Amino acid sequence: MVSTEYERRIAARFATFDQDGNGWIDREDFNAAAKALLAEFTVTARSDKGQALYAGAEAFWQGMAGIADRDGDQRITREEFVTGAVKRLRDNPERFAEIARPFLHAALAVADPDADGRLTVADTARVLRVLHVPADVAEATAAALDSDADGTITEPDVIPAFARYFTVAE
Ligand code: CA
Ligand code: CA
């Protein structure tokens, strides 16, 4: 089987969503991502930030399921991901940004203890690594997000970049 660059990238995106690596994406993966982020930044699940992150994770899951879970079994298989999610997200990146926004907004708040709306490049890379983005990709992505090179990253930088990453062109 020939693995094209496109297929390799799709596999990497799937793996990012399939946080527990069991071969499908479901609500548990989104809860696991929220839990891992809270642990990484020592924020409790009961705090306002923790609650917002779990609510964002649930909204993200519901949005993804609405797009990709064709047979309604509450699991997105790799095939559903490739045939449903990837194509539809590519056709409509704004929709993806909308689905992901509450989760990303809450994730950035978790990683921003002084609440000034800015994340360091290092903390942004930490968020990506916790979400199972490979370390070298996480570092490079975080650095690239800091387009004006002032060492900080804000939400308006992150959401379109995240949408671009997942709406990979063929
Ligand atoms: Ca999974
Ligand atoms: Ca399904």
Average pLDDT over residues 40-52: 97
* Model confidence at 86: pLDDT above 90: no
User: What pLDDT is recorded for position 51?
Assistant: 98
* Model confidence at 57: pLDDT above 70: yes
User: What pLDDT is recorded for position 3?
Assistant: 65
* Model confidence at 79: pLDDT above 70: yes
pLDDT per residue over 125-166, tens digit each? Answer: 999 899 888 889 889 888 988 878 888 898 888 877 777 776
Domain 4-167 falls in which CATH fold?
Recoverin; domain 1 (1.10.238)
User: What pLDDT is recorded for position 28?
Assistant: 97
Distance 23 CA to ligand 2 centre (A): 12
Percent of the chain predicted with pLDDT > 90: 48
21 alpha carbon, closest ligand: 1
Distance 73 CA to ligand 1 centre (A): 13
Can you give the residue ranges of every domain in the chain? 4-167
Distance 72 CA to ligand 2 centre (A): 5
24 alpha carbon, closest ligand: 1
Distance between CA atoms of 32 and 28, rounded to whole angstroms? Answer: 6
Which of left, alpha, beta for 59 (phi over 0: left; psi -120 to 50: alpha)?
A: alpha
Distance 157 CA to ligand 2 centre (A): 32
77 alpha carbon, closest ligand: 2
